[in-house]
Structure 1
């Protein structure tokens, strides 16, 4: 992975990021790669918030992975700071080669650097391969999640 660069995402990365988000059955139903305007506005908000870290994994100038890391200060757990990993995506050509592990390890290291005591993530119930992957990295299923679409 010495030829891999993990860096903050910029506006020029949006087409690649959105393509990664849309490249699975769930993403294909909820993402719109043909209209980048809402994604551009969202990335601008993320880049303006010091608690948000949208990153890309790049090799040879090509975006091949992405994730969002959110730092959340809180009162519970004696005022613990936690991080939340979201939207982990790896380009189809790169899956199974260790890139996902490398990205998650980056997120854990950055979480420690930011003073977090806990790293959390959610994964759609249908993503069984992802669940095995996260368990292999030491994450434990601990909660039942709920969503309310507004």
Structure 2
């Protein structure tokens, strides 16, 4: 697998992160790596929110993976705090190298550190390989999700 580090993302990482978000059939339809303006604004919001953890995996000064972890306090489940994993992406030439597993393990460990009682994630219904990956890591398909587009 080789050595790599997981660290907080910086604004300088945005081109690499957005390129990974766009590097699949779904992302290619909804991401625009040629215009980073909306991503820069989103990064500023994320960086200012202590409940948001955008991280990158870096090998030899190259961003090779990313994910976002959001910590959400709540009243349900007896006042449980939960975390939500989103935007998991691995550079195409690093898939299968164990980076995804280590990123998810980091997110679960950070969730424990943040006193979360539950870790959740969603995955598009068409991402069958991703579903298998998450199940291998102990996640269970437990809910049906819905979305309402606002813009």
TM range (shorter): over 0.9
CA RMSD between the two structures: 0.8
d(CA) in 2 for partners of 1:54, 1:87:
9
TM-score where L is the length of structure 1? 0.98
Aligned-pair CA distance for 1:37: 0.5
- Report the counterpart of residue 99 of structure 2 in structure 1: 99
Aligned-pair CA distance for 1:2: 6.5
TM-score where L is the length of structure 2? 0.98
- Report the counterpart of residue 3 of structure 2 in structure 1: 3
Does 2:51 correspond to 1:55?
no
1:32 is paired with a residue whose SS is coil
d(CA) in 1 for partners of 2:33, 2:52:
22
Q: Runs (4+) of structure 1 moved beyond 2 Å?
A: none
1:6 is paired with a residue whose SS is strand
- Report the counterpart of residue 78 of structure 1 in structure 2: 78
Which ranges in structure 2 are unaligned for 5 or more consecutive residues? none
1:112-123 mapped onto 2 (5 Å cutoff): 112-123=112-123
Aligned-pair CA distance for 1:8: 0.7
Deviations 1:82-141 (A, max 9, x none): 000001000011001111000000000000000000000000000000000000000000
Deviations 1:29-51 (A, max 9, x none): 00000000000000010010000
1:1-150 mapped onto 2 (5 Å cutoff): 3-150=3-150
Deviations 1:38-86 (A, max 9, x none): 0000001001000000000001000000000000000000000000000
Corresponding residue pairs, total: 150
Which ranges in structure 1 are unaligned for 5 or more consecutive residues? none
